[in-house]
Chain A
Amino acid sequence: AQSVAQPEDQVNVAEGNPLTVKCTYSVSGNPYLFWYVQYPNRGLQFLLKYITGDNLVKGSYGFEAEFNKSQTSFHLKKPSALVSDSALYFCAVRETDSWGKLQFGAGTQVVVTP
């Protein structure tokens, strides 16, 4: 069965500093990996995905993620964090059935301080 782990409940970073949100996965076969962001009382917004190809994936709002097959990781990064990046971030892996179901991590709360 597929699964993802987000080892950090919360990440604190000062505005302007680099931001990293960690995600590791376990899948049988090739992984389809996704990152979403959720602001309070809102739905999830898609940030980026890895399907195949380049290990560095660029997404919305200046975010990128690096796929590392040997470490089974898909960490989300942003070179310079903004206060407005404060939100809940989810990593997800698509299950291998044909219905597009996603298995989500527990989420990481990002707090960016001015």
Chain B
Amino acid sequence: SQTIHQWPATLVQPVGSPLSLECTVEGTSNPNLYWYRQAAGRGLQLLFYSVGIGQISSEVPQNLSASRPQDRQFILSSKKLLLSDSGFYLCAWRPPLGSSSEQYFGPGTRLTVT
């Protein structure tokens, strides 16, 4: 069966520090991968998605970047964090084929920028 992992689970970082959040998927190949941010309210904002190694699409301009160095690894990064980067970051995957498939979410990373 497929599983998705995210780490760290929680993170407290000062403004201006770098960021690296990692997401890995097991039990599948060539998944579509997604990064979302959930702010203090509740809405989910899609940040990046990837359909293959090295292929990253950005949904909104921001202080963050994403990379996919391996087939089942998706990394969210920042060179200098802002207070507004605080939130709950969720990674998700779905199979590459089959347009009807749902997305499966990881447990999330709670980021607090101080």
Chain A interfacial positions (CB closer than 8 Å to B): 32, 34, 36, 41-46, 49, 51, 88, 90, 94, 98-102, 104, 106-107, 109
A109 to B104, CA, bound (A): 21
Instruction: Indicate if the CB atoms of B34 and A101 lie closer than 8 Å.
Output: yes
Given A32-B99, A106-B42, A106-B43 in contact, is the A99-B108 Cβ separation under 8 Å? Answer: no
Given A100-B32, A101-B34, A104-B43 in contact, is the A43-B106 Cβ separation under 8 Å? Answer: yes
Instruction: Indicate if the CB atoms of A34 and B108 lie closer than 8 Å.
Output: no
A102 to B43, CA, bound (A): 13
Complex partner residue of A99 from B32, B102, B106, B107, CB under 8 angstroms = B32
Chain B: minimal CB distance from A20 (Å): 19
Instruction: Indicate if the CB atoms of A101 and B46 lie closer than 8 Å.
Output: yes
Given A34-B102, A100-B101, A104-B44 in contact, is the A43-B32 Cβ separation under 8 Å? Answer: no
Chain B residues near A102 (CB-CB < 8 A): 46, 103
A36, closest chain B residue (CB): B105
Chain A residues near B92 (CB-CB < 8 A): 44
A102 to B93, CA, bound (A): 12
Chain A: minimal CB distance from B29 (Å): 16
Complex partner residue of B42 from A42, A88, A100, CB under 8 angstroms = A88
Instruction: Indicate if the CB atoms of B108 and A49 lie closer than 8 Å.
Output: no
B100 at the interface (CB under 8 A from A): yes
B20 at the interface (CB under 8 A from A): no
Instruction: Indicate if the CB atoms of B100 and A32 lie closer than 8 Å.
Output: yes
Complex partner residue of A100 from B6, B88, B103, CB under 8 angstroms = B103
